[in-house]
Chains A and B, each alone.
Chain A
């Protein structure tokens, strides 16, 4: 039976039609062998557009369909569905990309039209060789892995657990809470961060559906959507969780005092410690590097005082495998290291501090009990807040960190409230974009904060006038006045920006997800699939995807939870049949493909002496197909016949 091909050329409004002469492409397609109909339409993806295809399948009896429009990433699923609905196997459809790969990158209409014809011609030739394929359905494991116990991960975990599903929440630190647990107030409403966070932390700790794995990391992740295996390393706390009741006596009696990471080094902690009193779980960990028993073999004071015998110096780290159907990454961010920008004197000039250090100082249970103090114990009479430290800076991170403008203004307010000091904000642009943010800016203005539009050039302790003596002088070009200003102050707060976590590349590799140019995890679509990734079943949420404030992080945590739940409630997922297939007759058993497969989808059958592909694990990347020296592996829907026909058409 001769094939009947339908070709549909989309205008995409003016996106394609402006650069490509669609009529001429249609005329060209009509003349190609086996083409039964060729049409153009303004928006093929619209309902009437899809109807065109369906009608022709029913009435003209089309056996193959080509749509020339945008990237398959955009609308391939749309048209496949339309074709399937009209009774044709969805793999008898081919998409020709004449937008991203033609009209958008061309200026010359004539050449663009020729190019579009070549792309359409190739698709027409290829589609003849396409074969009907059946999609496979697999059940979805309803358990969810959430990585990262900051506010984003907490929100995601609670949403899922509340719906009755099991959640494994993995947190690297001894406690959940993340950065938010270290903040004093939150903008723009000035809620106390602890007051709104700790109830959620407690809920996580007590929730019957949440298994909290603190002081743990994910070391491996394999499988496919609906059926993943996560390998978790539980580091040794040297405290038995089942026995410890969190009385805190060990911490009280421990003789070793070291700078606390939680307090940015401004306060001390013991060698056996909880980062802060409201920690969840409320179980201390022993810091091996400082514990006297581990460093010198002496002490054991904690053992002596623990009423439950919970201290175990021999505790080993353990590994466990978790079976989950979906995973949510909420691994957060690092703050920019202020000592990299030497001109601001961080680490050299004592009263130059970072915004996080300010948060700790301002926190009622922080190292200064909420007082804003200089290193000499006095209150500052003037404070400068320097925006965009490490952000919007071509020497460091080019992107805007989004939250610093707002938290800088919050700091201005807190300084004003707590010290009455004069506050200067040195900014490039003020970005107060959220609900209630502009109003907060007005409030800070009314508190007589002095806004100087200009990025600070340096902070120096070398005076030029008697008034500058003993002060920190912020030098900046005031771009509104067009002059260089020198402002003497007592304290400088550096508003450091966000960066991807230091080990972000490792995490991306473990989960096989991609990153954008700035290093953060890449979402599937910036607008329409903001928490999905290119790997089905793996979601990203919060600041690991890019700088975000608390409201946005919480929204994303909940969104990721909804995405995961929607997948779980489908109960089964379909797997793309476009996988590699091995022809056992031709396979020589050389095993080259085994080592190359990035998804460990190929095994070796020792009795038959041939390689075998697990089609649930195979992602259809094609690496083995290209590498096989015997040409024994073929990828469905990317067969040699199909690809050669395509190439032949383009070269003709």
Chain B
């Protein structure tokens, strides 16, 4: 079913987009505006609990998400999210509250203490889903002024974009980002590990496992001819970008794979400058690749 956007979205950037992943935030806002997606940052939003809290204090994690949902409901808007972890937490709370009257009661009474209530009317949407399914091929293509012709991209979805709650794509082998990349003129390469784990937070607790995972992702991408990797998840982005040096040291490899948020690639194709998209802030330089493919800015 094709979902129609209501009068704009409340935009939920999530914590990491205010820190390490500012470029994601910047490019997401810019291309959304260009595509006519009205993103108004949700006033007074709070942390979603990230990937860990839900498994430690489930009820409190639901409360964190429920507060954000209640704030969005007050605005009478759906919630647009870019971080898959935020998406998962918000969607989970939304779904569980719909199905479990007991949870609804407990969460409801906690919200009431903060003068809030949540009736369950908000839909949580991932920005990629909104762009591909609401805006669609013709409107996206109409904005492309500088096709990313020849740019070979590994589309990396990460583990949380479709699992467990992303109903908009195949859970095991998503294709949405592949599709979007072709609209931009780029060439998505075959990337069988596209929905595999990057190691996530293991990078801080069990680095050797995480580095092995990152290495296999970089290996798979480059062996299939990718010149760069497109990401959806801020944590994946950081694992693959910030730890490439560690991977090279650990395994005596020589990876120099630039990483792009999918919104940055949209922005490039739309003709925006590198700076406007935060491409000047990357850790692995994308200059050579972009110049080679004549995406000069």
Contacts and interface: CB of A to CB of B under 8 A. Distances in A.
Contact of B193 (A342, A343, A395, A462): A462
A461 B192 contact: yes
A464 B192 contact: no
B172 to A, nearest CB: 4
Interface in A447-464: 458, 460-462, 464
Nearest to B192: A462
Contacts of B170: 342
Contacts of B220: 462
Contacts of A343: 172-173
B162 to A, nearest CB: 11
A341 interface: yes
B191 to A, nearest CB: 9
A226 to B, nearest CB: 46
Nearest to B224: A462
B173 A342 contact: yes
A462 B171 CA distance: 19
B288 interface: no
B199 to A, nearest CB: 15
Contacts of A460: 192-193
B280 to A, nearest CB: 33
Nearest to B220: A462
B145 interface: no
Contacts of A464: 216
A342 B192 contact: no
Nearest to A461: B192
Interface string A458-495: 10111010000000000000000000000000000000
Contacts of B193: 460, 462
A458 B192 CA distance: 11
Contact size class for B?
A: under 10
Nearest to A344: B172
A186 to B, nearest CB: 33
Nearest to B219: A462
A461 B224 CA distance: 12
Nearest to B174: A342
A342 B193 CA distance: 12
Nearest to B193: A462
Contacts of A395: 171
A462 B172 contact: no
A352 B216 CA distance: 23
Which of B170, B192, B220: most chain A Cβ within 10 A?
B192
Contacts of B192: 460-462
B268 to A, nearest CB: 28
A469 to B, nearest CB: 11
B172 A341 contact: yes
B216 to A, nearest CB: 7
Contacts of B173: 342-343, 348
A308 B158 CA distance: 65
Question: Of A341, A342, A348, A460, which is in contact with the most chain B CB atoms at under 10 Å from its CB?
Answer: A342
Interface in B179-194: 192-193
A393 B192 CA distance: 23
From B172, B193, B216, B220, residue with most partner A Cβ within 10 Å: B172
Interface string A313-353: 00000000000000000000000000001110000100000
B49 to A, nearest CB: 27
A348 B178 CA distance: 15
A458 B173 CA distance: 11
Interface string A138-176: 000000000000000000000000000000000000000
A461 B191 CA distance: 10
A458 B216 contact: no
B216 A342 contact: no
Nearest to B190: A348
Interface string B248-266: 0000000000000000000
Interface in B190-207: 192-193
A652 B128 CA distance: 62
A458 B193 CA distance: 11
Contacts of A348: 173
Nearest to B191: A462
B160 to A, nearest CB: 16
A432 B193 CA distance: 36
Nearest to B212: A464
A460 B193 CA distance: 9
Interface string B110-147: 00000000000000000000000000000000000000
A347 to B, nearest CB: 10
A427 B85 CA distance: 33
A528 B173 CA distance: 45
Interface string A393-417: 0010000000000000000000000
A461 B170 CA distance: 19
Contacts of A462: 192-193, 216, 220
A462 B173 CA distance: 14
A134 B82 CA distance: 73
A341 B220 CA distance: 22
A466 to B, nearest CB: 13
A174 to B, nearest CB: 35
Nearest to A459: B192
Interface in A46-88: none
Of B170, B173, B193, B216, the most chain A CB neighbours within 10 A belong to B173
Contacts of B172: 341-343, 458
A460 B196 CA distance: 12
Contacts of A458: 172
B263 to A, nearest CB: 26
B27 to A, nearest CB: 29
A393 B193 CA distance: 23
Question: What are the nearest 9 A-B pairs in CB distance?
Answer: A342-B173, A343-B172, A342-B172, A462-B192, A342-B170, A462-B220, A462-B193, A460-B192, A461-B192
Given A342-B170, A395-B171, A462-B192, 10 more contacts: A341-B172, A342-B173, A343-B173, A348-B173, A460-B192, A461-B192, A462-B193, A462-B216, A462-B220, A464-B216
11 contacts: A341-B172, A342-B170, A342-B172, A342-B173, A343-B173, A395-B171, A458-B172, A462-B192, A462-B193, A462-B216, A462-B220
